[in-house]
Structure 1
């Protein structure tokens, strides 16, 4: 069975640890969000690609869920202390190696897809990891005080302090789906929406031309990132209202109307189950708090078996 997972960030990376126990990793393709990508100190940083790579490659900081384990910050300290460089986004020394090699290859004309593949091979990932597009796209936040800024500046730099009036994916009109992503979706027997931010992770991938059209022809199951009417982590509660969505398991499912076939929700949201079923979507109810690899694997199995018994 060929499986494609749409993924972004910490929730997706942790979920994938369970998914690779349930499906054959050799037939799994993970399409990652690149709307968070940013250039810092002249380096191309791909936060979601790196979080997935480090988590499944065994190099993630276990408590943070992002960045490298056993990290040091000699370069960052020198940049800040000696040169007064902005310090709102800190790159660790080990992490810098990934950004350096990525930037060098991109400047040599290698596509982001090929760069990602080479980095994934270096980390011995058991599945295929591809970016959603090789083209430059950036998530832009419009704040309620009439400013526009890169998503990372709002989320990391300002700690999401400003309200969100709107957001858009700059450059998406001219973007095309990465070749590996297009091929994987064309041959997918099942598509899994990881429990990622529905607006700036999964929602960003869905904005790439051709993605939604391809999903309508495939069985699609998703895992809700909302538990008990609240986000598990992140800022979806600030972003969902900005796109007119309810902060609930049912509200997120509604964002995927038109192609969603199955939706897994937490037991705390079981009251939403019938409302979701009334839209024609199959519902699985289970523990979605990924507190251990056993719970995570059981969650992944529930998602897959909801549409593929």
Structure 2
């Protein structure tokens, strides 16, 4: 019985989590523990938003909006329109009515004294998710982007309003050096047989998880194999603006470069193995030279079946 931990965030993380759930079910293995990025969380109009947590929650529950890639399917926006009529909130950051229902519930539980871990556990009771969700930390460590000229923006403003068109200089998570892994995260990694790094944005989705003190160390010390899946296919990002983020930290937009960014465990990095797309088969030798086992497989997550095949390949790597 394979005990599996997934590090994930964003739409790529949500799709991959669906594939992992399916692959594990077919093998008869226990449900995965998914450690979710909370670096893009924020307070807006008095409620606490956790975009990556919600994307993965909605996807596993089967209620996500697959066309937009975020939010609830069939949602309406009456409350958002009313908030805008009062001149509050961000007009470019749409919150659906069903989505707001979750945000209000979450905020109430937080105000009552529950931790984010406890809130997510309570949220997870509504649907049969087939996985355990954990935040990377219970601390508030929102991502701040410094752009050319020195202006500092919340990640969501830079990402959603400006569509990453403002050249970033740095990505920071203020307070993260004092944060601790959420309850159960280090234990899950220590007890795992395999840890999978989802094909999420390496800088703003996986990066904050690895920056929480104690998580990178847990990955280096676990007896589990740590296997990553490339978010880059044929030299291009699949979705979003990860290429802009990678350029800002001096990493080339390529499967081999992202593997090198994560690094081999033998040299103080986190990876034992790395999956690249068939289109990037030429990267297998350079990645192997880093001390990371590498295989080229189909990586397009067109549907759950394709995602499950990718997850199965990662589990076997």
Secondary structure of the residue that 2:76 maps to in structure 1? Answer: coil
Instruction: Select the residue among 304, 309, 317 that pairs with 1:298.
Output: 309
Q: Which residue of 2 aligns with 1:286?
A: 297
Instruction: Select the residue among 112, 115, 120 that pairs with 1:116.
Output: 120
Note the C-alpha offset of 1:97.
0.8
Note the C-alpha offset of 1:23.
1.8
Q: Which moved more, 1:266-275 or 1:30-39?
A: 266-275
Say whether residues 1:205 and 2:209 are aligned partners.
yes
Contact 1:26 1:128 (8 Å CA) reproduced: no
Note the C-alpha offset of 1:217.
2.4
**Take 1:124 and 1:79, find their aligned partners in 2: how far apart are those partners?**
32
Instruction: Select the residue among 255, 259, 283 that pairs with 1:253.
Output: 259
Contact 2:4 2:194 (8 Å CA) reproduced: yes
**Take 1:236 and 1:130, find their aligned partners in 2: how far apart are those partners?**
24
Instruction: Select the residue among 35, 46, 63 that pairs with 1:42.
Output: 46
Note the C-alpha offset of 1:157.
1.6
Instruction: Count residues with an aligned counterpart.
Output: 306
Contact 2:31 2:130 (8 Å CA) reproduced: no
**Take 2:172 and 2:89, find their aligned partners in 1: how far apart are those partners?**
28
Contact 1:113 1:180 (8 Å CA) reproduced: no
Note the C-alpha offset of 1:120.
1.1
Q: Which residue of 1 aligns with 2:278?
A: 267
**Take 1:31 and 1:93, find their aligned partners in 2: how far apart are those partners?**
27
Closer, same or farther: CA 296–196 of 1 in aligned 2, 3 Å:
same
Instruction: Select the residue among 141, 154, 176 that pairs with 2:180.
Output: 176
**Take 1:84 and 1:279, find their aligned partners in 2: how far apart are those partners?**
51
TM-score by length of 2: 0.94
Note the C-alpha offset of 1:84.
5.5
**Take 2:242 and 2:140, find their aligned partners in 1: how far apart are those partners?**
24
Note the C-alpha offset of 1:85.
4.3
Contact 2:21 2:31 (8 Å CA) reproduced: no
Q: Which residue of 2 aligns with 1:132?
A: 136
Secondary structure of the residue that 1:6 maps to in structure 2? Answer: strand
RMSD: 1.2
TM-score by length of 1: 0.96
Q: Which residue of 2 aligns with 1:185?
A: 189
Unpaired segments of 5 or more residues in structure 2? Answer: 264-268
Instruction: Select the residue among 15, 28, 35 that pairs with 1:31.
Output: 35
Contact 1:71 1:92 (8 Å CA) reproduced: yes
